[in-house]
Amino acid sequence: MNKTDWPLYEVFIRSRHGLSHKHVGSVHAADETMAMENARELYTRRNEGTSIWVVNSNAICASAPEQKDAMFTSPIEKIYRHPSFYQLPASVDKM
C-alpha cells in the first residue's frame, strides 16, 4: 500500500476552556486508531485540548460553493431573525 493511499481524517479539538469541539485541521492515517494518535501528536502538543474527535473526511457532506447564493444570501437581509431586539436578563451569561 502506498502512503498516499491513506485516507484523510478531519480533526476536531475541544480546548481547555472551550464549550464545543472545533475543527483544527486534518491528518492522514491508515485507520481511526492511527488518526487519533496522529491528531494527538500534531494538534495537542501545546496543551490545546481535553478531547479529540476524528472523522473520515469522506463522511462529511459539504455544501457546494456554487450554491453559495441560494444557500446563504437570503438571510442577510432578514435582520428580524436575530434576537437583537430583546433585552437579555443580566443573569444570562452565554448566548
Count of CB atoms situated within 10 Å of the CB of 54: 22
**Contacts of another protein in 4-63 (CB under 8 A):** 6, 27-30, 33-34, 37-38, 40-42, 45
- Do residues 44 and 52 touch, judged by C-beta distance below 8 A? yes
Binding-site residue total for another protein (CB under 8 A)?
A: 15
- Is 3 near another protein (CB under 8 A)? yes
Distance CA 94, CA 45 (A): 29
Residues of this chain that bind another protein (CB under 8 A):
1, 3, 6, 27-30, 33-34, 37-38, 40-42, 45
